[in-house]
Structure 1
Amino acid sequence: MIRSILLTAATGLLLSACAQPPLRGTGDLGVVIERASGSVQIIESDSHTALARLEGLGDLSHASVVYSRDQRYAYVFGRDGGLSKIDLLSQRIDRRVIQGGNSIGGAISQDGKLIAVSNYVPGGVKVFDARTLRQVADIPATPLADGSKRSRVVGLVDAPGQRFVFSLFDTGEIWSADFSQGASPKITRFNNIGQQPYDALITPDGRYYMAGLFGEDGMAQLDLWHPERGVKRVLGDYGRGQEKLPVYKMPHLEGWAVADNQAFVPAVGRHQVLVMDARTWRQTAAIAVAGQPVFVTSRPDGRQVWVNFAYPDNDRVQVIDTETHAVVADLRPGPAVLHMEFTARGDQLWLSLRDGDQVQVWDPYSLKPVSTLPAAAPSGIFFSSRAQKTGY
């Protein structure tokens, strides 16, 4: 009898153990967006392998990802308004909500407890509990003059002090939402910041929020240490106002690279990477490149930046030495290079080839490919190390 009870208990413990997520870390994991099929792959950088493929995540044509502080959960923001929470250990969709009609990215708060999503439709920002995905706040954007709808929201980032900062495309504003006192945020609005801010970034130290302007040249900069000074214009020659070429794809400002007090910036509508002093925000150089740059991605040690391009040059990647500003490599990975992501310590560079249906892993020191993974029209690559960075 006792033996039978012990055997039953042992069997129960064994089954319970089998039901638990595997005992392993998540710091080596990431996800690849498969934009055409509404799916993601969970990847492991050390072994260059795909661990799982998850389907049913909706429209991922402009998807982005943030991570929980423990790097276990990935939050995927879909273009269709879907917000999905993925468990990297159990390799499943933990929770999913449709929170809007047309979304353009999101952010996780400094303490990891809030998820904010920026929406075109309805215009505004919605904020959710990171554990349950229960909505905790709704921040409607400014209505348009004719009252037909609210402004589209872009450039949403997390900022120190439990803040979210974002831009209003149609009404030319930057807003800061301070959640440090609870779920009812204090909103600070900055008006007349420039025409049509289309995307934004926050510097790695969390001090400067910078919005690119679609309707005119220049960028709008907000110093979060001194918000009382308002928004000022920097980099007056950056933008679309006096474009020299048709713009096939607007560069993502997250693709800026900062290295050795220099900011390397994709020029809009030009075959150039602009360089500016990251202390004065004045342009110091312009580097000629093969096409219109989209992402300018810095190797973690800051010695190189890798640049990919809009059509028709999107089969190329160029590597720039940040010390000499020389193009030291002109690579041809394959058709439609959409995104690049370094591992946290810079030993690998992963890039996605949408039209080649694959993800490639490169050695950034030898400048040679080391591995290839099949993927269905891949776009964004996001490693869990982003969890420890502001603005990612």
Structure 2
Amino acid sequence: MKRLGLIFALIATPLWAETPCCATGDLGLVVERASGSLLVIDRSDRAAVGRVEGLGDISHASLTYSPDERYAYVFGRDGGLTKVDMLTRQVVARTVQAGNSIGGAISDDGRLVAVSNYEPGGVKVFDADTLALVADVPATGKTIGLVDVPGRRFAWTVWDTGEVFLGDFSGVEPVIRPLGNAGLNPFDAVLTEDAHTYLIGLFGEKGVTAFDLWDENPKPRKFLQDYGKTADDLPVYKMPHLQGWAFTEGQYVLPAVGAHELLWVDRDSLQETARTPVHGQPVFIIAQPASPFVWVNFAMPLNDVVQVVDSRTHQVVKTLTPGKAVLHMEFAPRGAEVWISSRDDNKLVIYDTRSFAVLGEVAAQSPSGIFFTARAHRTGL
């Protein structure tokens, strides 16, 4: 009878059961910028479990994931868009779609992948399954700050002109809508986690510009236009990355470009509420999940330090030295630990976020960005 039951079970087994058996929920990818490879990491085992090669120039790469966490879409500096299978750990599709690209995003339904380009500028949109070109939207300059917006839409801005656009790709033909002008030389942008506010940092002038994407007719609203006007700016060695801006305790936590400070802004009034002196020029400011803390790393030459700041008091509560040239931080989805890349020490350092104890280290080749598959379920990445 047992044998007969086994036969029936095998007959009833659906074809999809033949797919690889491994799960992807605790996996991630680390950009190995010098070698054009990705290190596959297992968060639960705190270990490297594989490597994917042949990614081209990924010296300034970012990536996003499909909704099922199986595929990663990697945006390379050489204009390459590469699709990687997390289960087989192989490149399954690749296209060099521009001369120089800076980032991308996946639509909320997982069907479209968009890439923002420096050269020749503009946004290209691809079918997420095949990487076939779906739309080519030109621009009159470098396109930055590309984010996904619910409804199979994307928002972006243009460095050279300050123009901001919202593209709707839900229909047969894309509808591209200009939203207005952000200001002089927008260097990056970020969408709040509720997809309400699109924030654009300005390099050519002081300030940040906000667009309310819940409004039927979003208008630019500038704030933080007075910070730093009484002091000379320091040289900017590395542009802050706004997708690391933290949102916590009803506040935006923003980098003061050209200064060693964090700027705290009330989310509703857009008024500055406090400043925090920090170790150097902030690059990433990332909120620790399920906590009042944000973690900050810094531009060279002070880039061997990470500081932890309490969003309630605006005070630095811990200073850590993970290694030489700290480039990125990534939290476990519930915030229990943080992985930090030390490029010049060729390693990842894992910290317990409560005790600040080192839980482990993982060897990596000139690591930069760290991306867990949990990002597949977050808006604006």
TM-score tier after normalising by the smaller chain length: over 0.9
Letter in 2 for 1:56: G
Alpha carbons of structure 1 residues 97 and 242: separation in structure 2 relative to 1, 3 Å? farther
CA distance in 2, matches of 1:61, 1:281: 35
Question: Is residue 213–residue 239 contact of structure 1 (8 Å, CA) maintained in 2?
Answer: no
TM-aligned CA deviation for residue 85 of structure 1? 0.6
What is the deviation of 1:122? 1.4
Moved beyond 6 Å, runs of 4+:
239-242
Question: Per-residue CA shift, 1:311-370, capped at 9, x if unaligned?
Answer: 121001111112222211111111000000001111110010010101111101101211
The residue that corresponds to 1:234 in the other structure is: 223
Residue of structure 2 in register with 1:130 after alignment: 128
Q: Percent identity?
A: 53
Call closer, same or farther: CA 1:139–1:65 in 2, change over 3 Å.
Answer: same
Partner of 1:6: none
Instruction: Please identify, of 168-177 and 219-228, the stretch whose mean Cα deviation from structure 2 is larger.
Output: 219-228
For 1:173, the equivalent position in structure 2 comes to: 163
**CA displacement, residues 15-55 of structure 1 (integer Å, 9 cap, x when unaligned):** xx9x9653122111110000011000111100001111111
Letter of the aligned partner of 1:44 in structure 2?
Answer: D
CA contact (8 A) 1:257 1:264 kept: yes
How many Å separate the matches in 1 of 2:131 and 2:80? 11
Q: Write the distance in 1 (CA, Å) between the matches of 2:232 and 2:290.
A: 33
Shift of 1:279: 1.7
Pair 1:100-2:98 in alignment: yes
Match of 1:372 in 2: 361
User: SS at 1:158's partner residue?
Assistant: strand
- Output the amino acid matched with 1:244: D
What is the identity, as a one-letter code, of the residue corresponding to 1:129? D
**Which of 151, 154, 171 is the equivalent residue of 1:164?**
154
SS in 2 for 1:385: helix
Inter-partner Cα distance in structure 2 for 1:163 and 1:237: 33
* Paired residues of 1:159 and 1:165 also in contact (CA < 8 A): yes
User: Relative to structure 1, is the Cα distance of residues 232 and 81 closer, same or farther in structure 2, using a 3 angstrom cutoff?
Assistant: same
Contact 1:124 1:152 in 2 (8 A): yes
- Supply the AA of the counterpart residue of 1:25: A
The correspondence for 1:208, drawn from 178, 193, 197, is 197
1:7 alignment partner in structure 2? none
Retained in 2: the 8 A contact 1:256–1:265? yes
Q: Any idea what SS the aligned residue of 1:387 has? A: helix
Match in the other structure for 1:118: 116
Give the counterpart letter for 2:301 in structure 1. Answer: P
Aligned equivalents of 2:228, 2:66: Cα separation in 1? 34
Aligned twin of 2:4:
none
Q: 2:350 pairs with 361, 365, 368, which one?
A: 361
Q: How does 1:42-121 map to 2 (within 5 A)?
A: 42-121=40-119
Q: Which amino acid aligns with 1:171?
A: T
Report what 2:380 is aligned to: 391
Distance 2:143 2:161 in 1: 10
Q: TM-score, normalised by structure 1?
A: 0.90
* Unpaired stretches in structure 1, ≥5 consecutive residues: 1-12, 143-150
Separation (CA, whole Å) in 1 of partners of 2:325 and 2:300: 8
Contact 1:164 1:178 in 2 (8 A): yes
> Aligned AA for 1:247?
V
The secondary structure found in structure 1 opposite 2:259 is coil
Distance verdict in 2 for CA 1:56–1:229, change over 3 Å:
closer
Looking at structure 2, the residues matched to 54 and 254 of structure 1 have their Cα atoms a distance apart, in angstroms, of 25
Decide whether the 8 Å contact of 1:105 with 1:118 is kept in 2.
yes
Paired residue for 1:147?
A: none
Alpha-carbon distance in 1 for matches of 2:153, 2:231: 34
TM superposition shift of 1:121 = 1.1
357-366 or 320-329, larger mean C-alpha shift: 320-329
Native 8 Å contact 2:100 2:118 kept in 1: yes
Counterpart secondary structure, 1:136? strand
* Structure 2 letter corresponding to 1:51: V
Matches within 5 A, 1:1-392: 22-142=20-140, 151-182=141-172, 184-237=173-226, 244-392=233-381
Q: Which whole-Å CA distance do the structure 1 matches of 2:224 and 2:114 have between them?
A: 29
Q: Give the Cα separation in 2 of the matches to 1:308 and 1:87.
A: 30
Indicate conservation of the 8 Å contact 2:179/2:218, yes or no: no
Aligned residue for 1:217, secondary structure, equals coil
The one-letter code of the counterpart of 2:370 is I
Contact 2:65 2:72 in 1 (8 A): yes
Deviations 1:80-103 (A, max 9, x none): 000011110111111111111000
Q: What's the CA shift for 1:190?
A: 3.0
State how far apart, in whole Å, the 2-side matches of 1:198 and 1:238 are: 17
Distance between the aligned counterparts of 1:30 and 1:239, measured in 2? 38
Q: 1:227 to 1:32 in 2, by over 3 A?
A: same
Offset of residue 192 of structure 1: 3.2
Query: Is the contact between residue 120 and residue 152 of structure 1 (CA under 8 Å) also seen in structure 2?
Result: yes
> Separation in 1 of the partners of 2:71 and 2:241?
24
Change beyond 3 A, Cα 1:20–1:358: farther
| Matched residues, number | 367
Cα distance in 2, alignment partners of residues 341 and 46 from structure 1: 14
Give the aligned CA root-mean-square deviation in angstroms.
Answer: 1.8
